Amino acid sequence: MNMNPYEQYMKEVAQPMREELTNVGFKELVTPKQVDDFVTTAPGTSLVVVNSVCGCAAGLARPAVRKSLEHDKKPVNLVTVFAGQDKEATQRMRDYFKGKEPSSPSIALTKNGEVLHFVPREEIEDHDIEDIVENLTRAYDQYC
């Protein structure tokens, strides 16, 4: 697929933002088929991060997610989709977040395709990293 110069630039700009998660074990899902395959076959609990280029993703969501994984209990699977970059994959993942408004960034704890816990942008933006970590680790303690 040929990218226009803007798309190429945004892909390059977003690469370090992707690596913040892939470097700690997250698998990127970049197509709807990858999303469907993952959701229908993943054993156990999964942490799904809807990544984004916004400031609250950079300053809050990604750092909080990484820190939350230092907790004793944690999800078995770690995956991410990138809003605004991998649009079709992101939309497909959101289709599995039944009853949840689209939100970027957002974090979902899922099992067997069902959302067990959801952290929308409203619970990320204007919150402390420690608050987000506590929100996530409480869910890990309950579901993992």
Residue 144 annotated among the catalytic residues of the structure:
no
Q: Cα(32)–Cα(44) distance, rounded to whole angstroms?
A: 21
Residue 54 annotated among the catalytic residues of the structure:
yes
Catalytically annotated residue among 48, 49, 50, 54: 54
Residues facing residue 46 across a β-bridge: 77, 110
Catalytically annotated residue among 30, 56, 115, 116: 56
Going across the sheet that includes 77-82, the strands are 27-28, 77-82, 45-51, 106-111, 114-119
H-type alpha helices, the chain: 5-22, 32-41, 55-56, 62-68, 87-96, 129-143
Catalytic residue positions?
54, 56
